A and B are shown apart, each in its own frame.
Chain A
Amino acid sequence: DTGVSQNPRHKITKRGQNVTFRCDPISEHNRLYWYRQTLGQGPEFLTYFQNEAQLEKSRLLSDRFSAERPKGSFSTLEIQRTEQGDSAMYLCASSYFRGTEAFFGQGTRLTVV
């Protein structure tokens, strides 16, 4: 399968713990995006990378959130000191630099208890 791959698919964690999600984009896609989707809402933009450079971060991305894309390949999203309000589906997408179509992964569903 050459689509966007996200791991894990589900994560249950206790409040205050740190969690890390991984996204493997479609190979050769220069751009990688993270979105957050809560129940009954559309995805909300968090951040995006062009190759290894993080070019924009939404104000939704508090200082407890950090994203990396070493070597411009896979990306990780870490949430420190999780809060119940962090419970959501975290979606990763990738696209070519000149492309308009963003391909989404299946997401990681985070539940903070």
Chain B
Amino acid sequence: QQQVKQSPQSLIVQKGGISIINCAYENTAFDYFPWYQQFPGKGPALLIAIRPDVSEKKEGRFTISFNKSAKQFSLHIMDSQPGDSATYFCAASMSVSGGSNYKLTFGKGTLLTVNP
């Protein structure tokens, strides 16, 4: 059972355009939703994260939109640049006793290509 579904599998955007990647989750116990960026041959790196008590979080060109009732969240990359070309993963985790999150459940990833 795939708990976090991500779409699209791949995305091609022109430089300066907006990249949008969507994720949907099933487990309502999830309470932490990060996005990771992965370049070939590298490990994933945290890009931005959100908790369900807010509907939007923005950091520079990256914005997460969160819809708790629909159990969906998305990543928007404004003014996309060729250097943003990478694989993006959404993920989710839940708090355990003590209030900390631990294991991540990842989506299958989106390969983003930004053409110059």
Contacts and interface: CB of A to CB of B under 8 A. Distances in A.
A48 B36 CA distance: 19
Contacts of A107: 42-43
Nearest to B9: A40
A3 B58 CA distance: 26
B102 A44 contact: no
A19 B58 CA distance: 43
A41 B109 contact: yes
6 nearest A-B residue pairs (beta carbon): A42-B106, A104-B43, A45-B103, A100-B101, A42-B89, A106-B43
Interface stretch (B11-19, B44-52, B61-69, B70-78): B44-52
B60 interface: no
Contacts of A41: 108-109
Interface residues of A, number: 26
Contacts of A33: 102-103
A101 B49 contact: yes
Nearest to A101: B46
Contacts of A56: 102-103
Interface residues of B, number: 27
Interface of B: 4, 6, 32, 34, 36, 41-46, 49, 89, 91, 93, 98-109
A42 B36 CA distance: 10
A102 B109 contact: no
A66 B102 CA distance: 20
A97 B106 CA distance: 20
B49 A100 contact: yes
Contacts of B45: 104
A105 interface: yes
A48 B89 contact: no
A102 B101 CA distance: 10
Given A42-B89, A104-B43, A106-B41, A31 B102 contact: yes
A45 B104 contact: yes
A105 B38 CA distance: 11
Contacts of B46: 101-103
